[in-house]
Structure 1
Amino acid sequence: MAAQRIGHVANKGPSVFKAIVLGMSFGVMAGGLWKMHHRNNQRRTKEFYDMLEKDEISVVVVEE
């Protein structure tokens, strides 16, 4: 009987190496998204102050 000679794959526990790699991958992706968000906010702030210096915009409400 050939079926008796075929070994069954044992169900192993979670792989530590795989968990570390997945955790690092997700961490790098989340860090990249946070960095993009931070740079976008910096760009908006810089554009705002540049426009303020050029008198294109004003933060004072003009009352008529």
Structure 2
Amino acid sequence: MANVQKIGKAVYKGPSVVKEIIYGITLGFAVGGLWKMHHWNNQRRTKEFYDLLEKGEISVVVEDE
């Protein structure tokens, strides 16, 4: 058994700081972009609502029948 080489076990070195930073930045940009798109959509709908209200096409007062 003198010629048998020992196969070393993989040693856990811990998390890579650079990879973790890159993952965090990428995830932050992705979620931030989705959040921004959500707010743009709400802003657009609010603007459309007030434009229709100003034109008189809609009303917030319930009409009596």
TM-score (norm 1): 0.83
Q: Distance in 1 between matches of 2:42 and 2:9?
A: 55
Give the total of aligned pairs.
63
Q: Which runs of 5+ in 2 are unaligned?
A: none
The alignment status of 1:49 with 2:50, answered yes or no, reads: yes
Q: Which runs of 5+ in 1 are unaligned?
A: none
TM-score (norm 2): 0.81
Q: Distance in 1 between matches of 2:23 and 2:64?
A: 58
User: What fraction of aligned residue pairs are identical, expressed as a percent?
Assistant: 65
Deviation at 1:18, TM superposition (A): 0.3
1:9-50 alpha-carbon deviations (Å, 9 max, x no partner): 543211000000001111111100000000000000000001
Q: Distance in 1 between matches of 2:28 and 2:45?
A: 26
SS state at 1:63 partner = coil
Q: Distance in 2 between matches of 1:53 and 1:62?
A: 18
Q: How does 1:21-36 map to 2 (within 5 A)?
A: 21-36=22-37
Equivalence for 1:61: 62
